[in-house]
Amino acid sequence: MPALLFAVVQGVTEFLPVSSSGHLVLLALILGGDGEPLFVVSALHVATALAAVIYYRRAYRQAVWGLWQPGPRRRFALRYLAAQASTAAIALPLVWALTQTPAEQWRLSAGLLGGMMLLNAVILLTAPRGAAAAAGETLPHDTLPQLTWRSAAWVGLAQGAATLPGLSRSGLTVAAGRHAGLSRGEAASLSFLLAPPVILATAVFWSAQVWPEPLALFASWRAAGPMLGMAVITFLIALAALHWVVSWVRAGRLWWFAPWSAVLGIATLATAAF
């Protein structure tokens, strides 16, 4: 049952602006353990990344082929790469710093998690909402956002900052895109187009930390079968959650997730204190 809970929570929260990593850590605290093994969590992240690739498959295909085609598609592809480079510049130092924190300092970790969840709520509340009928709110999935160098840098930096537990990657990137002048539809599309490489890089990093655990897991179908089942569940839930949250962002309802993030932040801080 705990394994199934982790699969469901990962699928539901990865693309919602409420921090999936924060929910997984909090779930582990509630269950009184350390959570699922890192490689299992990595596999669930791969499943959510695959959901985003499937959902935006036409846009990805246009962006990849755009590298060899002069015009708007090539400009988007180059600026997309610049956004990912901005992410790496922020995320790599943060990941290194977080890995230096001893695991037994759970009070510090819970305090950081709660504080970041409260900050996440503030970011969601202060993101520009715009008019309900603004242009670009109903972009189809095969339309690339009108990405500028400025918006690429802002959104990339926001995605890197979301490495901190408790901050939502989707929440920060959508909010940054809106502040950079993107419409709600463009900000949503860019956020979830940027997500898979970062999610996959995180999964590879975690898997490398516990190598050769993956080899031992796949040596037996009895061990690998349940994990693959969890990954399928996570993929299906993430696909549905992605469709749902995109519609909410386009409708200007990003701030609706702020109360949930705030309540969880307060609860986590209380857990750290007592």
Domain assignments of the chain as residue spans, ordered by start = 2-273
pLDDT given for residue 203 in this prediction: 78
pLDDT given for residue 163 in this prediction: 85
pLDDT given for residue 80 in this prediction: 92
pLDDT given for residue 104 in this prediction: 44
Paired tokens of 123: 């970011």
pLDDT given for residue 102 in this prediction: 52
Rounded to whole angstroms, the Cα distance separating 17 from 27 reads 17
Rounded to whole angstroms, the Cα distance separating 82 from 216 reads 38
pLDDT given for residue 69 in this prediction: 79
Rounded to whole angstroms, the Cα distance separating 155 from 176 reads 5
**pTM of the entire predicted model:** 0.85
The Cα angle at residue 234 between residues 261 and 50, in degrees rounded to 5 = 100
Spans of the chain below 50 pLDDT: 103-107, 132-136
Q: Which of 106, 104, 170, 45 is nearest to 37 (CA)?
A: 45
Pair 250, 185: CB distance under 8 Å: yes
In this predicted model, what pLDDT tens digit does every residue of 75-108 receive, in sequence order?
Answer: 888 999 999 999 999 988 887 776 665 544 444 5
Collect all residues with Cβ–Cβ distance below 8 Å to 240 and sequence separation of at least 6. none
